[in-house]
Amino acid sequence: MEYRYQRRVQFYETDLAGIVHFSWFPRYMEEAEHAMWRAAGLSITPAGLDIGFARVSVSVEFHAPLFFEEEFQVHVRIAAISRRSIRYACAITRGDTKIATGTMAAVCVQRRPGETFRAVEIPAEVVDRLKS
């Protein structure tokens, strides 16, 4: 599955030079991931289930700066999905300019109060919706 997410740079995301601080790029990627799940009729924290998706890795490569009030797009796609994990590939662009590329991975975990998270299989319904 792929999804394109449109956004505008907010002032609080920039440094004193008006350039987006590097720490925002993983957040942009995660916003796009969540928007993709919503577009599939899902939530990253499904109601009624005791599962969640714990982030296990994030990487970003920077290619060009983003500035205050610029509009940009985050393209996120599922690069791989296994029984217990999902890996995403992301590209952040402004028009034809490549701003950043990156990857993220998450593991499906059981979340029960008072218990340590443990990896579990991704529900079949989630896999089916994300693959469609």
Domains of the chain, each with CATH number or no CATH: 2-131 (3.10.129.10)
Indicate the SS3 state at residue 4.
Answer: strand
pLDDT at 67: 98
Give the span between the Cα atoms of 78 and 94, in whole angstroms: 21
Amino acid letter, 119: A
pLDDT at 64: 98
pLDDT at 88: 98
Tokens of 5: 């997410």
pLDDT at 79: 97
pLDDT at 37: 96
The H or E element spanning position 42 is none
Inter-residue contact 107 to 49 (CB < 8 Å): no
Give the residues of the chain that fall short of pLDDT 50: none
Inter-residue contact 126 to 45 (CB < 8 Å): no
